[in-house]
Every structure is written in structure tokens, then in C-alpha cells.
Amino acid sequence: MNCTEAKNYRHIFIVNPNTSRMPVIEVLIQRIKNVCNEEELIYELFRANSPEAGPEHIRDLARAGFPLRVYICGGDGTVRNIIRSTWNYKNVEYGVIPMGTGNDFARNFGTKEDYASLKNIIMGDTVDIDLMQVNGQVYVNMLNIGFDEQVVSMVQRWRHIPFSRNQIAYTIAAFIQLLRMPMEHLKITFDDGKVLDKRFTLCAIANGSYCGGGYFAASNASVDDGLMDVLVVRPIRRKHFLQMIGDYRKGTLLNTKKGKKLVFQKKCSKVILEKKTPFEVCFDGEIEKTKRLECEIIPKAVKFIKPAKSLSCAQTSANK
């Protein structure tokens, strides 16, 4: 996107007040003002005082017909909350300024370095991405059951501890869960009629590729292919788990001979998971219990901004 095109939008920055991160937030706000004023953009800084405030404000603007670029300043939970409530407005494009614990959804579109520049984000082009509808609710990234869910659950219980906002927390939690080796048993029915009814170490229903604060777990998944990737890791000994965890994190496991032996993989547009008793699921970092999951892909549901190298308006004019 060039600067002329950017001026056709209203640029809305949704900032969630977080007293523990106020110094970082204030620095970010000043950076936003500097960039938007320099590029002569129409922009608004909206400080959401509740989870409902941000989506409500976006809906009000979208109903008025304004072309919007909404920049979500937060983590995976905030991204999910905003998109879930506003995704059906076609005059809204979404971007993210990563400020969460894991920031896994943002990793699908760029590296930490890509997100370091606000101009990269503001001037980025959009891609049409898929969403997942699960039991009537919309999710953006990944569902985890079993080992991965237990790791996230533990990290959430550590939120009051400063180090919990670091990837180290996920590694520590993973080693603790390794001692416990939680297992789950579900019936999984795919849209082509195939059924799995087995015990497993972990299961992931993936739109995006990353979970757990940077684990490239679903390395074959893509947010714009119109399909979900279902990964089921068979019961595994601790020794073998330790041998595979490095490759699992780097995304180099699934397509190897070892990975194909350990992990059942299948792409689908719809899948049902069920059990007679409640089981825990991590929905984009949100833990809930259920007896049945009906998951379906929504192809090309929203436009999402990929960070890109940007030029200032002055540079753009000089290059014409």
C-alpha cells in the first residue's frame, strides 16, 4: 500500500489499558502519533476500558460506512476478541501490533523484526485469510487439546509473575507437563467420513501455524488455504518426546519419517471432536471445557495486514 492509498482509510488503534505495561503502552502511543502525523493519516487512538468496548467502537464506525484499518495492540486473546465480534463487516481490515504473551497469530504474517516498524504495519498490503467457526463462535488461530493445552493452562496460572510474559514460561511449563504426560481420548470425525477413536498425547486443530509462544507446531498449515490442519500426536514415551520437541518447535518434524510415524495429519474443512465427559480445550489461548466440538473453516473471511517495508509520503512523492 502506498501513502495515497493509506490516506483513504481511517486508521484505528485499539489499545487495552494494562497497568503492568503502562510505560510500554505510553511509548507505543507516542510512536503511533509520530508516524500517523508524519504520514498525514486520519487516525484514532481508542483506549478500550473493557473487552466489549473495542468491538463496539469498531462496529459503530463500520456501520457508518468508513473504510477502516484496525490495528489491534495486544496479544492473541485481544486479536480473537476483536475479530470475532466484527469480522462480518467487509469495510474493515485488520492488523496487529504484538503486545501479548505468545503473539502466535502475528507470527503467521511476519517476524519480530517485521513488526518492529509501525510503518511496516501501516503500509502493509492485505491478504484474505480464513477463520474457524467452533460451536458457533469464531476463532482465528488454533485449538489445542492434551499436552499443549495443559502447558497454556499452567502459563495462565503464572500471569502475575513477571517472567510469564516470556517464552521461557512456555518451556518451563512444557517440562513440568513432561513429568505428568497428560493424555486424552476423543472420537474425531472428519468431513470425508474418516473416524479416529483413540488415545493421544496432543491434538491441534490449526488455521495458523504457531502456538505456545512460538512453537511452529502446525508447520503445514496456512491461514489462506481454505482448510484446517488436524494434528494428532500418538501416545509417546518421555524419551521420544524429548527427542522430538526441538524439531516440533522449529517446524521441522511433520514431514520427516519420524514425524509421519508419530503424528497423524489431515487437512479438512470440517471436523467433529467428542467425548461423553467434559474435556479441556485451549481456544486461541482461552481455556474452556466441553463435550463436543464442531469445527468448520470460513474461507477468506477477513482481510489481514502483512507488515511490509514502507516509504514515507515524502519519499513516495520523490520517486514519482
pLDDT at 159: 65
Which domains can be identified in the chain, with CATH numbers?
Answer: 3-130+301-319 (3.40.50.10330), 138-299 (2.60.200.40)
Mean pLDDT, the chain, integer? 89
CB contact burial 15-50 (16+ within 10 A = b; e otherwise): bbeeeeeeeebeebeeebeebbeebebebebbebee
pLDDT tens-digit map of 289-309: 999 999 999 999 999 999 986
Average pLDDT over every residue of 194-223: 94
**Rounded to 5 degrees, what are φ and ψ at 260?**
-65, -25
Greater confidence (215 vs 13) lies with 13
**pLDDT for 284 beyond 50:** yes
Predicted model pTM:
0.87
pLDDT at 319: 36
Strands 126-134, 137-139: pairing kind? antiparallel
Average pLDDT over every residue of 135-147: 94
pLDDT tens-digit map of 41-78: 999 999 998 889 999 999 999 999 999 999 999 989 89
CA distance 213 to 215: 6
Q: What percent of the chain has pLDDT over 90?
A: 67
**pLDDT for 314 beyond 60:** no
pLDDT at 313: 44
Greater confidence (145 vs 158) lies with 145
Residue for grid cell 518447535: 249
